[in-house]
Amino acid sequence: MLGHDIIVIGASAGGVEAVTQLVRSLPADIPAAIFVVIHIAAHSKSVLPQILQRRGHLPAIHPKDGEKILHGKVYVAPPDLHLLIKPGYINLAHGPKENRHRPAVDPLFRSAAQAYTNRVVGVILSGSLDDGTAGLLVVKKLGGIAIAQDPEEALYDGMPGSAIENVEVDYVLSIAEISKKLVDLAGESVEIQNHSVDPDLEIETDMAELDKEAVQSQERPGRESPYSCPECGGVLWEINNGNFMRFRCRTGHAFSPDSLFAEQSDALEQALWVALRALKEQSGLSRKLAQRAKEQNHSIVANRFAERAQEADARADVIRRVLVEGENQLLNIDNLEATAENNDLETDMG
């Protein structure tokens, strides 16, 4: 009988340090395959496999599409590709972003649960926002084990905190305790259970692969919402997993509440910058026309354009003040992210 031999791990900010600490404590003969998703920019080079292999006892790689799953290996999601699990092999997909990321945690967890049901252990580590919560819900629903890093220990408590709040997690542990628990779970015998897979789950897994039939199908999980997708502008469908609400559009972009709010905020800021530019251009044009009318002794026309310029400047100033407040908030976020990157870099170079 097999143990819990499919271990899926998700992290974001502060995740390199957390994953490195965790994998470093796993023995070379652990009877399980480990899969890791950490949010990374699409055009960045990922050296996480080299870091994990240098620090730990297990070989770590960026897998190839279709690669066979083997125990005693760490499979790290490559940049700009979802890491998905099929029975016996790995699928890499350039599917729609989920929670603003590709790779994202939810597709990994969801596909693992669909393929291996109660053999799966889902682990949520340090990270901001709430990617991974929806996927961990599926892991639990199909009989797997849910583990979250203790938020008090995590550099960023958003992801583990969301998991604990919305999922009946089995264990809330420190990194050192998680490593020990994974070894114990991998060695325990599991009576394999056949769970009927929700058709909506199959649709979502197929959409992560940008499957042609799934994209063209008129069937969508959930119900139509009044909100639009910040990525493509399409209608979002509201999906409820227990008390956890999330959204997915027709082309497959998916958002948890926190990630949707963050994306909407970015879209709003972009719109404000466009409005500011348009108003400053309008002001400049109005002043030029006012000056030309003045030179031609058309005082009434000159005054009208001068008033338009003043109105545009006043409106632009309102938007400028809104952007300044937003920039201050963004600077705080940037400082926090910079701290996480520095911590991760110290782990890399250490």
State the catalytic residues.
12, 39, 131
User: What are the CA-CA distances from residue 322 to residues 26, 168, 282, 331 (Å)?
Assistant: 50, 40, 19, 14
Cα 210 → chain centroid? 17
- Residue 340 corresponds to which amino acid? A
Write the burial class of residue 98 (CB in 10 Å: 0-12 exposed, 13-18 middle, 19+ buried): buried
d(CA 51, CA 18): 12
- Both tokens of 340, joined, read 């996480």
User: CA Rg, the chain, in Å?
Assistant: 25
261 neighbors 252 (Cβ within 8 angstroms): no
d(CA 34, CA 73): 6
Checking DSSP bridges between strand 235-241 and strand 223-228, what pairing results, if any? antiparallel
178 neighbors 200 (Cβ within 8 angstroms): no
d(CA 186, CA 147): 14
d(CA 281, CA 269): 18
| DSSP assignment of 72-104 | T-EEEPPTTSEEEEETTEEEEE----BTTBSS-
Checking DSSP bridges between strand 60-61 and strand 74-76, what pairing results, if any? parallel
Closest to 265 (Cα-Cα) out of 318, 309, 326: 326
Cα 139 → chain centroid? 17
| DSSP assignment of 159-170 | HHHHHHHHS--S
User: Omega into 103 within 30° of 0, i.e. cis?
Assistant: yes
Checking DSSP bridges between strand 89-93 and strand 82-86, what pairing results, if any? antiparallel
